[in-house]
Amino acid sequence: MIAATSGGTPEEEQPLMAHRVVKRLTSIRVLVVTLLVISTIGAAGIGLWMFIGTMGRGGTSGTPFRLVNRSTWGARIPIHTTPLPHPPATYAVIIHTASDTCDTLASCSAEVREIQKLHMDHKNLDDIAFSFLVGGDGQTYEGRGWDVQGAFARMVNNKSLGIAFIGNFDKTEPPKQQLEEAEALLEVSVKSKKLSSDYILVAHRQVSETVSPGEALFKILKTWPHWKDCYMESC
């Protein structure tokens, strides 16, 4: 007696095997296409991430905007604050502190604390005079900030951001990272609608009786966008 077999004849098995091969090839194609799509999306995502990283928070300048807030540098509590009456600010006034330079978080924080002490204890101001200070370490130190009126140029305090470069720049230019950080601060201020998009940029000496921000820095400012050639009431 011949035992029964569970399989079919060779002729019956061939279509079944062909079907399995086609099914397996189709699965492989789907897998390959899926991997290609994933890798393409991944590459695009990495490219976008790199682009955003290059822009930084400062925008198109390519320099990140790095803000050191008051609590980080050890600010004292202001005696009184006066809100900027008609935001956004329409002027950006560039100042120098005429003090020592700094190039680290620790040294710049110490310098800003000394400036605040001078302004509050010896000049009887309610707080540090400036809206922001920019250190030689390429970071921005929060002074009175965007929304509080400063005390650096009486004729424009109520419509300005006062940006002070830490150091004396009469004969020496600020380092590249300090200049770039100031530009990033201006960009961020415009983007966040704290500074008018058609703001006027002036040096401290143009709106107050002072040599600030120093001759070397003043020459640089005259090449920046938004700078206006004016003096006192004509500004």
Q: Which residues contact 49 (CB under 8 A, 6 or more apart)?
A: none
> Are 101 and 171 contacting, i.e. CB atoms less than 8 angstroms apart?
no
Residue 10 sits at φ, ψ, to 5 deg, of -55, -40
pLDDT tens for 145-204 read 999 999 999 999 999 999 999 999 999 999 999 999 999 999 999 999 999 999 999 999
Indicate if the alpha-carbon torsion angle 86, 92, 97, 98 is positive or negative.
Answer: negative
Distance CA 181, CA 138 (A): 6
Token pair of 14, please? 């061939």
Q: Quote the CA–CA distance of 51 and 54 in Å, as a whole number.
A: 5
Before 64, cis peptide (omega within 30)? no
Q: Alpha helices, DSSP H only, in 56-104?
A: 70-73
pLDDT of residue 23: 47
Phi, psi of 64, deg, nearest 5: -65, 145
Inform me whether the pLDDT recorded for 63 exceeds 90: no
Question: Do you know the residue count of the chain?
Answer: 235
- Tell which wins on pLDDT, 33 or 62: 62
pLDDT of residue 62: 66
Question: How confident is the model over 205-227, as pLDDT tens digits?
Answer: 999 999 999 999 999 999 999 99
Q: Which residues contact 2 (CB under 8 A, 6 or more apart)?
A: none
Sheet strands side by side (includes 160-165): 67-68, 140-142, 132-134, 160-165, 89-96, 195-203
Q: In the chain, where are the structural domains located?
A: 14-55, 67-234
pLDDT of residue 202: 98
| Percent of the chain clearing pLDDT 70 (strictly above) | 74
- Please give the Cα distance from 127 to 116 (Å, whole number): 6
pLDDT confidence of 11, banded at 50, 70, 90? very low
Beta strand spans in 35-189 (E): 67-68, 89-96, 132-134, 140-142, 160-165
Architecture label for domain 67-234: 3-Layer(aba) Sandwich (3.40)
Cis peptide before 78 (omega within 30 of 0): no
Closest CA relative to residue 118, chosen from 164, 83, 82 = 164
